[in-house]
Amino acid sequence: DNLRPGHVIIDQDINPYVDQWEAEGIFPAHKVFKLLGNAGFLGVNKPVEYGGLGLDFSYSIAVSEELGNIRCGGIPMAIGVQTDMATPALARFGSTELKKEFLLPSIMGDKVACLGVSEVGAGSDVATIKTNAVREGDEYVVNGGKMWTTNGTQADWMCLLANTSDSPSHKNKSLICLPMNSPGVHIARKIDNMGMRSSDTAEVFFDDVRMPCKNLIGQEGMGFTYQMLQFQEERLWACSNILTMMDNIIQETIQYTRQRKIFKMPVLYHQSVHFRLAELETEIELLRSLLHRSTALYIKCNDVTKLASMAKLKAGRLSREVGDSCLQYWGGMGFTSNVLVSRFYRDARLLSIGGGADEVMLSIICKYMDTLPKK
């Protein structure tokens, strides 16, 4: 059972249930993650001593591409949080004890992770978060709240970004492993999102939650820096995942428009349709080249912040174009909720918002181009 290929797990254990999980607004994360963990897909680029495969990040990108064959955006996103958003900093900077307690079971699929960064008043502007972790003896006392927490209602632990001092906003934050069953952790509500319906997204509050100081990842005050490093992997991962989805949307649109006739010939044979699909396919291939180039540089320890931000920006914008154009060619069928193209249209809209909005990607690119106004 351990050696089942990814496409078999997707075809047999995930896709047949996607419609049901989308309707229910949640999927059984522990069950799905255990299947993926058994097959080795939750830690391909994580250390072997904690259950990972010890491969480089390009293999994580390959897994992300394969997960794009899941017929919704919510489940791949939830898996991506586990593999490339909540765990990279822990794997790189966490203590042995912390990695045994949180990383190993997350790679095995026994524990579900979530990431606590965004808040009601602080999304893309990470520096302005208000959640505090105040040191008292050998404990932190955590107060505040997190918003739009993917996997939030099912997670066993959170990789929490909190303020641990009164230093400047880029130097006062720390990442802490926080078990979600700790006294004082309250799941306020499951958020009703426009898309990503099968992913449970929660608002979480912390009321005097006590955490041992040993749950700190790496050094105190380095949380913002660690989180920015985690974001690079997250952005490349999201880009690779959506590329496969866009490939599939184009292919299904070709199949549908080839058999659907209008004015006595297939929709596909109208030049405006097949030319537009050719344009979109060209853009997809250009984005794929940028992703692969960025990944190749990243695994050789280069700073790919600029390229990763460009890839994330383009992925968000292109997926909106693909969704909109293809939905148009499905006509009335495209406006129904039981076809993949309409689900993609809703789900893909998040990519220009989550993980740093388009405008933040543009600001980062401008920073590297040295074109931002001087303060």
Question: What are the start-end ranges of the E strands in the chain?
Answer: 113-116, 132-136, 139-150, 157-163, 173-179, 185-190, 201-212, 261-262, 265-266
Neighbour tally for 96: CB within 10 Å: 10
For the question of residue 234 being annotated catalytic, the response is yes
DSSP 30: H
- In contact, 99 and 90? CB cutoff 8 Å: yes
What sign for the dihedral angle of Cα 161, 315, 344, 79?
Answer: negative
Nearest to 61 by CA among 280, 291, 368, 268: 291
Closest by Cα among 216, 79, 204, 213 to 148:
204
Tokens of 101: 């307690």
User: Which of the residues 234, 252, 283, 321 is marked catalytic?
Assistant: 234
Return the closest-CA partner of residue 66 out of 8, 1, 3, 2: 8
Closest CA to 75 of 181, 196, 248: 196
**CB distance 36 to 113 below 8 Å:** no
Write the CA distances from 98 to 43, 212, 243, integer angstroms: 16, 11, 34
In Å, how far from its chain's centre is CA 302?
22
User: Where in the sequence numbering do the catalytic residues fall?
Assistant: 234
